[in-house]
Amino acid sequence: MSEDQFPGWHGTTIIGVKKGSEVVIAGDGQVSLGQTVIKGTARKVRRLSPGGYDIVAGFAGSTADAFTLLERLEAKLEATPGQLARASVELAKDWRTDKYLQKLEAMLIVSDGTDIFVITGAGDVLEPEHDVTAIGSGGNYALAAGRALMDTDLSAEEVARKAMGIASDICVYTNGNLTVETIKQ
């Protein structure tokens, strides 16, 4: 989908925070078209349970594309139970090389409570250096705020919520209607 076909599609900020024995993935609920908020209560953070293993995933980008990727990730996890890193790399390889998947426009943050990864269509599986990562329209704002809050006594969830609050104050494509999922080691 090009910017010419659907000009001005914006929306979503997703943050992942790993602190102590927990990982939190939080996402806002706003979807915008140009200067119009189309929906303010979208749910972009999901809990998956492939093969009985608990995984949390947040997505930015096209919802249909993200759901396609989440289904593929679940299939990879069922084939490699308990191996999120391996399943993520396999998904990224498929996404990078498959002609159908190459057209998908989304990014994922995924965690099993131990590891946290960003998966992109460029074939990247990235593990954050500072235990905070963020994607989407307000991702850079949430990332900066989250990194600044990591040295405080706040829990992972409190860091994620405060960082998302800061992002929603700055980014017009991000709102304060959050979906928050926590997963522990």
Indicate the helix (H) or strand (E) that contains 11: strand 9-11
Contact between residue 13 and residue 141 where contact means Cβ atoms under 8 Å apart = yes
Phi/psi of residue 74, nearest 5 degrees: -60, -40
Residue 182 annotated among the catalytic residues of the structure: no
- d(C-alpha 55, C-alpha 147), whole Å: 23
Q: Which of 12, 13, 133, 182 is catalytic?
A: 12
Give the SS3 label for residue 87.
helix
Contact between residue 113 and residue 185 where contact means Cβ atoms under 8 Å apart = yes
Spatial neighbors of 139 by CB under 8 A, at least 6 apart, are 13, 14, 15, 60, 167
Enumerate the active-site residues.
12
